[in-house]
Amino acid sequence: MGEHRTDLPDVDGLIIGILGGTGDQGKGLARRFSLAGHTVLIGSRSAERAEEAARAVAAPGTRTRGAENAAVAAEADIVIVAVPWDGHRALLESLRDELSGKIVIDCVNPLGFDKRGAYALPVEEGSAAQQAAAVLTGSRVVAAFHHVSAVLLLDPEVDQIDLDVLVLGDDREATDIVRALAGRIPGFRGVYGGRLRNAHQVEALTANLISINRRYKAHAGIRITDIN
């Protein structure tokens, strides 16, 4: 059995906060983690918008609610950053205190778009995840959930999404927790993908997947071969 499946921690009961949870990616992840039985907190600059998004994606009988980003960051056990790239640094700078000591999962892809399609943007720190780590020096930053189709996450007809979630970080315990969390979504498998310094190519690969999906009219993801 491959190392990635052994001795993963129990993440049942963790409260998951999603900053930028009113976008499609954030709402999709909120929906899936709600279905998995987690309490999910959707964050936004507007509490009203966050509450509206929470009502839209909450699974029946589950605990999903919306609030302003700062309240979500303070209450959640683990926080996913799913904001647009152009607001990434400013939001994290405003939440340093609330996110201190917590695992912060960055799934932001710094991409540009023109007539020829999607392309990766240069990031001074190397990647969005490295920027998050530079800003949130008191947090445990992990990169993950970059290659997940928001369309599939939100589709009520899709019960299982066959996908490997590449998880990158410098803290072994934190990456194991995030791998275990990925496995809570049916079909997902969390796979360790290297140190945080390798996050750039994972984020940039999203541009390739967008090109694949446009050409083949698909919702392609990533699968890693030869590990169990």
As given in the structure block, the two tokens for residue 47 are 């509490």
pLDDT digits (tens, 9 = 90+) for 67-113: 999 999 999 999 999 999 999 999 999 999 999 999 999 999 999 99
Residue 173: Cβ-neighbour burial (10 angstroms; 0-12, 13-18, 19+): exposed
Phi, psi (rounded to 5 degrees) for 163 = -160, 140
pLDDT digits (tens, 9 = 90+) for 149-162: 999 999 999 999 99
- The candidate with the shortest Cα–Cα distance to 170, out of 134, 218, 220, 206, is 134
pLDDT for 7:
83
- pTM over 0.85, yes/no: yes
Per-residue pLDDT band at 1 (split at 50, 70, 90): very low
Is the pLDDT assigned to residue 226 strictly greater than 50?
yes
72-75, Cβ contacts within 8 angstroms, sequence gap of 24 or more: 72/17, 72/18, 72/19, 72/21, 72/41, 72/42, 72/43, 73/17, 73/19, 73/43, 73/98, 73/99, 73/102, 74/98, 75/15, 75/17, 75/41
DSSP 16-62: EEEETTTSHHHHHHHHHHHHTT--EEEEESSHHHHHHHHHHHPPTTS
